[in-house]
Chains A and B, each alone.
Chain A
Amino acid sequence: EPEVTQTPSHQVTQMGQEVILRCVPISNHLYFYWYRQILGQKVEFLVSFYNNEISEKSEIFDDQFSVERPDGSNFTLKIRSTKLEDSAMYFCASNQGAGELFFGEGSRLTVL
């Protein structure tokens, strides 16, 4: 069964460093998303991406964040200068449009 894959599973970084989280969505999906979850709490929407551009973003997704689909396969989330409060589980998801999202296993980011 096709699945969304995410790397790395865990990244530890120093405050102020840049981080790139990578995702490979399901191959025939058209919409891509990043969500984050802090300490097993609420799952918060960050950004959605369709047709090589951002379609929606939340207030969390400020200028420190960016997304890219560099090669038609990977979908990346970059945090330019990490802050302590960026520590969270980041989930990538994809779907074909309407209907359920398919989530990856997540990338745990720890900012020290």
Chain B
Amino acid sequence: AQSVAQPEDQVNVAEGNPLTVKCTYSVSGNPYLFWYVQYPNRGLQFLLKYITGDNLVKGSYGFEAEFNKSQTSFHLKKPSALVSDSALYFCAVRPNSGNTPLVFGKGTRLSVIA
């Protein structure tokens, strides 16, 4: 069965500084990996995905993530954080065969301080 670990409940970063939100995964075979963002009282909004190809994936709002197969990681990054990036971030995984449902991590709350 697949699983996702987001080791940090909370990440604090100053505005303008780079941010990283960590994610590691476990899945049988090759993974499809996703990041979603959730603002207060809202649904989950898709940010980016890794399906195949280039390990560095670029997504919405200047976010990117790097797929590292040897470390089974898919950390979310942004070179310069904005206060408006403050939200709850979820990493998700599923195997790349069949249509097994997405499994989500527990989420990491990002707080960007002005």
- Which residues of chain B come closer than 8 Å to A31, judged between CB atoms? 99
Question: Quick check: is B53 within 8 A (CB to CB) of the other chain?
Answer: no
Interface members, chain A 64-112 (any B CB < 8 Å): 91, 93, 97-106
- Which residues of chain B come closer than 8 Å to A100, judged between CB atoms? 34, 46, 49
**Inter-subunit contact A101/B102 (CB<8 Å):** yes
**Inter-subunit contact A42/B105 (CB<8 Å):** yes
- In the complex, how many angstroms separate the beta carbon of A41 from the nearest chain B beta carbon? 7
Which B residue sits closest to A97, measured CB to CB? Answer: B99
Q: How large is the interface on A (under 10, 10 to 19, 20 to 34, 35 or more residues)?
A: 20 to 34
- Please count the residue pairs between chain A and chain B whose beta carbons lie under 8 angstroms apart in the complex: 54
Question: Quick check: is B78 within 8 A (CB to CB) of the other chain?
Answer: no
* Cα–Cα distance between A102 and B100 once the two chains are bound (Å): 16
Q: How large is the interface on B (under 10, 10 to 19, 20 to 34, 35 or more residues)?
A: 20 to 34
- In the complex, how many angstroms separate the beta carbon of A4 from the nearest chain B beta carbon? 8
**Inter-subunit contact A48/B44 (CB<8 Å):** no
Question: Quick check: is A17 within 8 A (CB to CB) of the other chain?
Answer: no
Scoring B residues 75 to 114 as 1 if CB is less than 8 Å from chain A, else 0, what string do you get?
0000000000000101000001001111111110000000
**Inter-subunit contact B101/A40 (CB<8 Å):** no
Further pairs besides A40-B88, A93-B44: 6, Cβ < 8 Å: A43-B44, A45-B102, A48-B99, A101-B46, A103-B36, A106-B43
Give me the 9 closest cross-chain CB pairs, A-B, nearest first: A43-B104, A103-B43, A105-B43, A103-B44, A42-B106, A100-B46, A45-B101, A48-B101, A106-B43
